[in-house]
Amino acid sequence: MELVSENRSFGGRQAVYTHPSNTCGCEMTFAVYLPPQAEERKVPVLWYLSGLTCTHENAMTKGGFQEHASREGLAVIYPDTSPRGEGVADDEAYDLGQGAGFYVNATRDPWKPHYRMYDYITSELRSLVLDHLPLEDCHGITGHSMGGHGAITIALRNAEMFESVSAFAPIAHPTNSDWGRKQLSAYLGDDETAWSNHDSTLLLEEHGWKGDILVDQGASDQFLELLKPESLAAAMARRRQPGQVRMQKGYDHSYYFVNTFASDHVVWHADRLN
């Protein structure tokens, strides 16, 4: 890990690191907020997965998580959304390729050599931060849009690794949405049975979740037809899954929406991690 930048924030420190990734076959960047409590003891971890076109930096600078994480004694880790650099496959469209890893392990060329964001999040980066930072092996996960999709699917498939899961405006049913079908077919191929492991609605119906789930969705979100929160809410009802899908009147898909409800999510995770 190479330290790129470090800034004092709400008594803690906001840092950015790079490291060579064997999983993605390129240099990767991530950010981490360490609360002041981390100077005296190890602290629980909240993972924040970002959405399409984002890097580690967007939520770090716009999400407003640091103040709440400082108060609650949580570290927040912000991974990048895809591999990057020369030799890494890309696409002219904003919703495929670099900035749009969709938190899957690609099985098709040209994506297969680098696009392994599922393993990167669940294995490589997790081990790296636990080895080098003052973190408890106690984790919650959240995310926005594509990152909300990643947070829920990763948690549902790895219940032993996470104690809590929430999401902001997740892509909730990607196998039935243009935000999903395009990317899953590109990365995984045309066999739709391979897509179900990356669909929150289908995974929840099949496996459920050991605790409760918190989802916030802007009722004025311009991408509602692509996100399909009603599919996830219906699956929760059918499964009798504890949790909430909260439709927030007047809110859109922006970081103003994320920032508004960041405190709710940090406190919610802290209650389940501390």
Catalytically annotated residues: 145, 221, 253
Q: d(Cα 24, Cα 27) in Å, to the nearest integer?
A: 8
Which residue type, as a one-letter code, is found at position 237?
A: A
Task: Please check whether residue 252 is in contact with residue 218, taking contact to mean a CB–CB distance below 8 angstroms.
Answer: yes
CA distance 241 to 233: 9
Name residue 148's amino acid: G
Peptide bond into 110 cis (omega under 30): yes
- Can you tell me the distance from the alpha carbon of 248 to that of 91, in angstroms, rounded to the nearest whole number? 34
8 Å CB contact between 151 and 170: yes
Contact by Cβ (8 Å): 152, 170: yes
